[in-house]
Structure 1
Amino acid sequence: MWNKIEMKRWHRLFYDQLVRRWKQNIVFAAATIFFLQFLIVKLHPSEVQEFNEAQCADIYPKLKQGLISVNEGMRTLVGHELKLIGEKEFDVTGYTVKRPLLNCLDQEDELLHRTIKEKYFVKGNVSGRGFSKPYEELKHPYQTQDLLELVFKELRNGFYVEAGAWDSEQMSVSLLFEVGFNWTGILIEANPWDHQLGLLRNRNALYLNTCLGLTVRPQFSDFVFTPAVEVKEGQWMASMGGLSETLLNPDSIKLQCFPFYSILMAAGNPTVNLLILDIEGAEFAVLKTIPWNKVDIQVMTIETDLIGKAGISGGSQEEAREFIISKGYTLFKHRNNINPVTGLENNDLFIRNDIVKKWNIKFPEPLN
């Protein structure tokens, strides 16, 4: 079992190698700068409009009456990135779609739910999965082993939501449950290029290329591909891509994010046996948008050690834990879970209190 900390360390090494190549090869450096400029031009359009409350008050009734379409003002933007698939490098085309009028809709609005369902969900097909290597050679993260052995055991036909799905293969917590126990679910990834790689895996799931919203309405947010996270005073580490309010750099794009609850409603508000939330510090802000009395989420594994340390202000690991416990969950410790850089537990396991009792879950000792 690999953990994500090792993957982040690999990511940091890759970045350092890139810098060394820049210094050694001026042609390579120039080509890289040109490529980044191409991305910025393609994915930072100034013409996408944002609306204030007064404008939304005027727009909303027109949307509901069908006088204007949610597609009005839509922008579909394209960029390219080289991605390693197996041992070969491919030019992957990434798309990001923005429908500005959706930002005037509340997370409970049926028009928003219908638009996500009809315009954004992409259905995979279990036949002909396209993994980059034989499934038996893929490595699963440590959370999977805990969840399999000590929580779900041989539960079949479950439903997951994995936010921060990456390419839907590497370090995917949900993959083993899907392949081994016939689960299905929703794979959410904000990075347009990683989402495209995920589609190649052709998993038995709904794919969704979006970031999770930090408010109860859709909104435009900055997504940084290689953010630097201050894990301790004066000590920084490279993180996976994520939302940022403060740590902006040229390696960023503006995405339209959807509230988690709206996504769940677009899928029919199913019972979620497992929610995997790994979105590089934005977890607490997302969790606070959920109307907990209207959802059925049994088990959650959530990355908490970067909360308050990445580009989203406010919150901490302890605050997030207290908040989730207040919603009726018990906090358990994952095994093999310490991040050596932050010195904190990397992911937390939360199981709803009635499920703890129903399934007689007793591992390891709960923290609360």
Structure 2
Amino acid sequence: MKLPPIPLRPKINEGLDINDEELNAEAHRLMSRIGQKMRWSYDACRNIAPLTFRINQLKEQEDVIIIAHTYQTPDIVYGVADAVGDSYTLSKIARDAPQSTILFSSVRFMAETAKILSPQKKVIHPSPEAGCSLSEGIAASDVRALKASYPGVPVACYINTTAAVKAECDVCVTSSNYLGIAEKLPGDEVIFVPDRLMGLHLKKHLEGRKTVYLHDADCEVHAAFSSDSIHRQRREAEKRGLQLKVLAHPECDSEVLEASDFVGSSERILTEAKKLGVQDGVAVMMITECGTAERAIAESEAPIELMGSCSMCRHMKRTHLEDILQAIESPTSDQIVEIEDSIIQRARVSLDQMFALSDA
């Protein structure tokens, strides 16, 4: 599998207090955790070791928890993050974290979600310009228009939305729970926003039981995959005497999902890939963002045979270790997440309803 290049940096230990013994120990820790010794070599890890060492010192001193989405780069995921996962997992961690400050290494809507769930805490987002094609593909006014067109119909919004959009919805959902939650909503109709492709998957799942009304936005990463690439990789695997298992994210096109063996959230794809990775004669194709594949490589008990190519989220990859260090040391006003109290209160209802229905 072709993975994105590692972040390039000049030599970094100027101004960072770390001795040679600490530097070498940190470099070896990083190389072991990341698990890609050809790409993340000792020299590459030694170069970033002053940053990860200093960040880990500071987060303890400043009572900061660093939460990182799976799609972040391995130097963040394995170098400094205290918690890593998909949107649902991380939203619960943000809600329950005991630390006084949450630093969310992700895109903006995730940091907003943390602020909604922990309004009393300081929430830092190191890369405020890191957006999302889904959250930018719908506004609160679009939800109000759908509610006016279909009065009384419950509105389920994907977590990949702004706080203002969440405030207009009855329940928030993630890729790990949207099917189950939609089934539990009252009535035989549901409005699902904003992901059209995920909505089509939901529509098929609820066929004959509920009518689903959709918005028209998509994830630029997952919408780029095609079923043709799956068929090509299956032929290649067959030539090599391998059984190919294709694991896809529900944000993909319906043809991609139909050609896949498994459909689930990034966390469920990761779990499935690790199970398959220990089986002889099995190769895995992961139809999702590259970060999930990088985690599979690092966390599998045995070397995993990955085929095909992943797709990189340019928004998720905007955050670097340097941004995290700067944001802990001296966050700028736009790095500190602030949301109007009225929006927080209304958006919190949709998130609390998600937790209630997920646990029911």
TM-score, normalising length: structure 1 = 0.28
Question: TM-score under structure 2 normalisation?
Answer: 0.28
- Of structures 1 and 2, the one with the larger relative CO (CA 8 A, separation 6+) is 2
Q: Which has the higher helix share?
A: 2
